[in-house]
Amino acid sequence: MSEVQDYYIYALKDPRRSPAQPFYIGKGVGSRRFDHLKAGDGSEKTRRIREIQDEGFDVIVSVLVDNLTESQALRLEAELIAAFGTFDTGGILLNKVLPTGLGKKSRHGLNIPSGVKEKAQIGLGLIKEAVLELAQANPKGITNSETASVLGLRSDYGGGSKDYLSYSILGLLMRDGKIRRVPGTRRHVATVK
């Protein structure tokens, strides 16, 4: 069975410049590209959208590529974000792919190819969404071991930290206030529905 090709890559562009400059790149299906115009999340992207609208302009919503599989869309989205760069890394996009405080330090002399941080953070975002959905679907909670096993996040490396990745993801979601640990247990429950 072939993968469904209903994903697309879109850009939100600021019409106050000529040519209109992209300030956000995303992937989606259906009407996803318009969701940003309706709901505000307090982000810099939302502030930019409101600023454009308050000045009497409409944000330009452009589909850049369509008829993509999800994996093709993920890869292209990561490549475009890496190419344009995020505002936090000296680029022009307001995508928030690097969580606050992460990715700022590196070992002296470590070569960091352009775009690798963005790709890693996009992947991290998808894993966090999957873990949160798993927690939301299980109101009695999920353990780290269950999370690692069910989502295929368990390492087969010979060391003793086979579930370290899923444990880190649960920790990040707890830091974000989206999951909490049930006192006296190893179970984690979603705090958001």
Radius of gyration for the chain, computed over Cα atoms and rounded to the nearest angstrom: 19
pLDDT in the model for residue 4: 73
Sorted by where each begins, the domain ranges of the chain are 7-89, 116-190
Query: CB of 141 within 8 A of CB of 127?
Result: no
Name the E strands within the chain. 7-14, 21-28, 60-68, 142-143, 179-181, 187-190
CB-count burial class (<10 Å; 0-12, 13-18, 19+) for 30: exposed
Terminal CA-to-CA distance of the chain, rounded, Å?
Answer: 33
pLDDT in the model for residue 107: 67
CATH of domain 116-190: 1.10.10.10
The pLDDT profile of the chain, 193 residues, written as one tens digit per residue, is 456 788 999 999 999 988 999 999 999 899 989 988 887 777 899 999 999 999 999 999 999 999 998 878 888 888 888 888 888 778 899 987 643 334 445 567 788 776 677 677 778 878 888 898 999 999 999 998 899 889 988 887 766 677 778 888 888 888 878 899 999 998 999 987 6
Measure Cα distances from 129 to 50, 126, 161, 170 in Å: 27, 5, 22, 11
pLDDT in the model for residue 26: 92
pLDDT in the model for residue 53: 94
pLDDT in the model for residue 128: 86
pLDDT in the model for residue 103: 46
Q: How far apart are CA 144 and CA 158, in angstroms?
A: 19
Q: How far apart are CA 100 and CA 187, in angstroms?
A: 26
**What is the CATH architecture of 7-89?**
3-Layer(aba) Sandwich (3.40)
> pTM for the full model?
0.56
